[in-house]
Amino acid sequence: MPPTAPPICSLCQRPLAAGVAFCTTCGTPVAAPLQPHDGIHVSGGRRVRVDAESVSLESIQSLVVASMAWWQQQLQHTDALTRQNAAEAIQQLSQILASLSQQLAQGRDVVKITTRLPQVRRYPQHCARCGAGNREEARFCRVCGATLAPVARRRPTDSLSVSIAACTDVGRRRSVNQDVVQAEHLTSLHGDTLTLLIVADGMGGGQAGDTASVLAAGTVRAELLVQLTQGLPASDAAWHTALSTAVQAANTQVYQMAQSEPRYAGMGTTLTVAVLSGQRLHLAHVGDSRAYLCNQAGIADELQPPHTHPPTQIVQLTVDHSLVARLVDIGQLTPAAARTHPQRNIIYRALGGQAQIEVDTQSHALSHGDLVLLCSDGLPIHVEDHQLAELVLTTQPLAARCQACIAAANAQGGSDNIGVVLAQLTPTGTA
């Protein structure tokens, strides 16, 4: 076996002695050993785009190549375990790249997605008898046939209250908590009220990831407060613009700090923001933290035939901006395998890596009993969706449900920080 090349300084490219904290030539800090579950943000040569039915193999191939290039750099790390992890990662990614290249050689590029998230609720009107969703103007329940009273067709906005809770935990294998969670009610100068939910999962050595997530969450909140001085956005499209602007401002802050201070070089963060305003949910999302919609009575889905299956109680609303998520899309991995795949921490979109960031935005109708769950990836890598539904759709106080989620993730290993935010809509007086 050929001798391993000595590690080199990332700035002056001079050889480094084993175990040193700083380069003896230029004084640059030596990177800390990479932890197995640290987030890795890479930017492929081609933007990864996913629509409702297909994804480009060439864009995924570009992402894999960029991931391999990142791991190639880690082969020069001073830490032996990091170099070993890099060699194993390159081997794993090489196998994925070979499969993608073979498919592209056969003329395949745009590939139909084999598994996709359930459709968003199309039936917002709930039946008082069975709880099933129906179209707004329906006279009879599509599931049980009960007559739908006119009062059930449109619940007034002021008849619902929103209760909130948020908590975070360092997990069982980390020494620093880089997750930030936030849940609060805000009021504009005009008296409009809304609920703001935030989850940010920082990445970067030392305190860099912690700094990135705190900075991103604080910037988004500050930007939205400024916008509230002018009243609430009047439409879904206006909300999307407002949220995108706030997230872009957060990205600018993180990016500029990462570029200007060596100790923060390479830092970044995911960011998922939810605003509950009236009976609408507005989301902005970057990275692999998640937003879910849950309801004990079930979330109506046009893909779910009535009388055939039990009602879906939890739906993931956001799309993970990760390599393994795209491999699941094209049938290269199963969802179960993706949860434990060695390269599951590679994400292709995060705040702080580039001057401009692409932000996913969406809006959904809300009904009584709906529960919005935001979480960092430290929760779903250990707890499956159906288990999440069981944990959050209980009669316990919301704070206790948050803690139950954290306890479940820690019981399964707690390999990462865990952040959980909950918001539930209930009739006024019962929140």
DSSP codes joined into one string, 21-43: SB-TTT-PBPPPPPPTT--EE--
Cα separation values, 329 from 46, 100, 254, 292, Å: 18, 13, 30, 19
Lowest average pLDDT, out of 13-22, 223-232, 240-249, goes to: 13-22
pLDDT of 155 > 70? The answer is no
pLDDT of 235 > 90? The answer is yes
CA–CA gap between residue 120 and residue 402 (Å, rounded): 24
Backbone φ and ψ of 404, nearest 5°: -65, -40
Backbone φ and ψ of 364, nearest 5°: -145, 150
Contact 214, 180 (CB under 8 A): yes
Structure tokens at 149: 């009273």
Nearest to 54 by CA among 112, 122, 119, 140: 112
pLDDT band at 22 (very low <50, low <70, confident <90, very high): low
pLDDT of 41 > 80? The answer is no
Beta-strand runs (E) in 75-155: 110-112, 125-126, 133-134
Q: How far does Cα 413 stand from its chain's mean position?
A: 20
Cα separation values, 46 from 43, 49, 63, 93, 423, Å: 8, 9, 8, 17, 37
pLDDT of 120 > 80? The answer is no
pLDDT of 268 > 60? The answer is yes
CA–CA gap between residue 402 and residue 180 (Å, rounded): 14
Strands 314-316 and 290-294: antiparallel
Lowest average pLDDT, out of 19-23, 48-52, 334-338, 405-409, goes to: 19-23
pLDDT of 40 > 90? The answer is no
Cα separation values, 307 from 130, 143, 144, 304, 311, Å: 12, 7, 9, 9, 9
The sign of the dihedral angle between the CA atoms of 145, 150, 151, 156 is positive
The vertex-211 CA angle with 205 and 215, nearest 5°, equals 145
pLDDT of 157 > 60? The answer is no
CA–CA gap between residue 196 and residue 58 (Å, rounded): 37
Nearest to 93 by CA among 116, 70, 59: 70
CA–CA gap between residue 321 and residue 2 (Å, rounded): 37
Structure tokens at 360: 């996913």
Beta-strand runs (E) in 188-233: 193-203
Contact 409, 382 (CB under 8 A): yes
pLDDT band at 3 (very low <50, low <70, confident <90, very high): very low
Q: Does domain 157-317+361-427 have CATH number 2.60.120.1360?
A: no
pLDDT in tens, 272-288: 999 999 889 999 999 99
Strands 110-112 and 133-134: unpaired
Q: Where in the chain is the domain with CATH 3.60.40.10?
A: 157-317+361-427
Kindly report the average pLDDT of the chain as a whole number: 81
pLDDT of 21 > 80? The answer is no
The sign of the dihedral angle between the CA atoms of 141, 146, 152, 153 is positive
- With both helix axes pointing from N to C terminus, report the angle between 236-260 and 208-228 in degrees, rounded to the nearest 10: 140
pLDDT in tens, 306-334: 444 567 889 999 999 988 888 888 888 88
pLDDT confidence of residue 131? 63
Residue 113 gets which letter from DSSP?
-
